[in-house]
Chains A and B, each alone.
Chain A
Amino acid sequence: MSDTEAGEGGNRKVKRFMIVNRKAPYGTIYALEALEVVLIGAAFDQDVSLVFADDGVYQLKKGQQTKGIGQKNFSPSYRALGDYDIEKLYVERESLQARGLAPADLLVPVRVLGSAELSVLMDEQDVVLSF
């Protein structure tokens, strides 16, 4: 394959993967599935970045307590992403503002970017997976 360097045990080419999260957590399975893909990408030592836009920003809302709905609270996983060398978390400023949220409402440090900046970043990726 052209994406693989020749030679026994040679390093595979690292691709730039971007996971775009646009859905709220719990109502659908998308947010949790995206997180699974992120961890798989990390396991293969790929360059993974995450974008949170539209209702996807709600995935990072502090204070999620899911006991009442009988579902696993997977929000602490976002804080553990750093342990997997996933440190590129971007949140779209327009989406935050439309929901009356500020970076202080989020459970993990993120870079807040405007849609114009985000679109440039998106353009630079090898693979963009949208959830």
Chain B
Amino acid sequence: MAVLHTTNKSPLQTRDLESCLRLTRPGCGILLLEDAVYGALKSTEAGARLAEAAKDRRIYVLGPDLAARGFTPEEVIAGVEVVDYGGFVDLVAEHHHVQAWV
């Protein structure tokens, strides 16, 4: 089973997401949570990079963190799946292990 990667920092302020994308392999899962959810938005400059990564990786974003920051699933780039806490648990269970890019 593949690895689930998580990242929780805004890609507009740190390079954590960029490192995560650079050092992960096709087929893995990447979950954006907390301030990393900004990276899943169509409106930001980081969006294009993530849309590219979504072609060969499964990208997820945590819905409650998105809503807390005033954004809706409609504002998330195509190919990124919005999950809730239950979905987060399922992802952890489905993957071999979890690697956090903190």
Partner-B contacts on A (CB < 8 A): 22-28, 54-55, 58, 61-69, 71, 73, 75, 98-101
B43 CB to nearest chain A CB (Å)? 3
Partner-A contacts on B (CB < 8 A): 8-10, 12-13, 34-35, 38, 41-45, 63-65, 67-72, 84
What are 19 A-B interface contacts by the 8 Å CB criterion? Answer: A24-B38, A24-B69, A25-B69, A26-B35, A27-B8, A54-B12, A54-B13, A55-B10, A55-B12, A55-B38, A63-B71, A63-B72, A66-B67, A67-B67, A69-B68, A71-B68, A99-B41, A99-B44, A100-B43
B13 CB to nearest chain A CB (Å)? 5
Q: How far is the CA of A101 from the CA of B71 in the complex (A)?
A: 12
The 9 closest A-B CB pairs, nearest first, are A100-B43, A68-B64, A27-B35, A61-B70, A63-B70, A64-B70, A66-B68, A65-B67, A27-B34
